[in-house]
Amino acid sequence: MAPVGDKKAKKGILERLNSGEVVIGDGGFVFALEKRGYVKAGPWTPEAAVEHPEAGASIVGVNCHFDPTISLQTVKLMKEGLQAAGLKAHLMSQPLAYHTPDCGKQGFIDLPEFPFGLEPRVATRWDIQKYAREAYNLGVRYIGGCCGFEPYHIRAIAEELAPERGFLPPASEKHGSWGSALDMHTKPWVRARARKEYWENLRIASGRPYNPSMSKPDAWGVTKGTAELMQQKEATTEQQLRELFEKQKFPSAQ
């Protein structure tokens, strides 16, 4: 994300990072399109680091599957590993916009809510501003988001890092920073929320009194190489689906 019409927009990713620029990436649109049926799930992309370890890496980081907190914890370990090995690389982070403290090692794909019931886990724009600041302080300079990120999340990153980047995104003209536009609201208690301190310290409620705050990941105990994980070229048959339906458990309904 570079200023519209700016020459920086024509530079490559490494050139931008090497110049000290803070780059903001947005991968949230892929998941949004997939949930609408525009993107078909296919075979996993081969791990380039495993296939060609001799190539090294200019950018190292985490993408998808986990929330900002877990992702930055992982990036911190990567940074320590790079330093211990005497290697230099740019750091990147593109986490989910969902809170996933209850995930297993495979991340949010094991959660019962994946992929169409994840909305109660969506991070607020204030969560994302906090993530952007923590990522920057950690030394990450490619800061973005993956599944679940909406335009207002990406704008939150750009607004949080505006002092370092030297400009605000165009969409910032449409609202007040940290809810400041609420100062003209008709309700006085809402006007009192027109400040950074309120939104930074708010502990939001889910509004779902009969739902658990955490989920138990499914996973089913399958591991790499298990037949059920193999991607087949032909469409899944009705018989294959019935076998999976019979295996599926609904603890809350028992």
33 confidence band (pLDDT: 50, 70, 90): low
Query: Per-residue pLDDT averaged across 145-151, rounded?
Result: 94
Query: Per-residue pLDDT averaged across 34-47, rounded?
Result: 51
Q: Is residue 237 part of a domain?
A: no
26: Cβ–Cβ under 8 A, 6 or more apart, which residues?
A: 1, 144, 145, 149, 154
SS3 144: strand
The answer to whether the annotation marks 64 as part of a ligand binding site is yes
Q: How many domains does the chain have?
A: 1
Domain that holds residue 40: 15-224
pLDDT exceeds cutoff 60 at 53: yes
Question: Percentage of residues in the chain with pLDDT exceeding 90?
Answer: 54
Nearest in space to 101 (alpha carbons), one of 230, 216, 209? 216
**Can you state the angle between helices 68-85 and 125-138, rounded to 10 degrees?**
10
Q: Is residue 3 part of a domain?
A: no
Q: Is residue 5 part of a domain?
A: no
Q: Is residue 117 part of a domain?
A: yes
Nearest in space to 93 (alpha carbons), one of 126, 117, 70? 70
Q: How far apart are CA 144 and CA 128, in angstroms?
A: 10
pLDDT one-digit tens code per residue, 205-254: 989 898 888 998 887 766 666 777 777 788 889 998 888 888 776 554 33
- Residue type at 13 in one-letter notation: I
Instruction: Find the CATH number of the domain harbouring 140.
Output: 3.20.20.330
The answer to whether the annotation marks 147 as part of a ligand binding site is yes
The answer to whether the annotation marks 103 as part of a ligand binding site is no
Strand boundaries in the chain, DSSP class E: 23-26, 59-63, 90-94, 142-145
pLDDT exceeds cutoff 50 at 87: yes
206: Cβ–Cβ under 8 A, 6 or more apart, which residues?
A: 120, 213
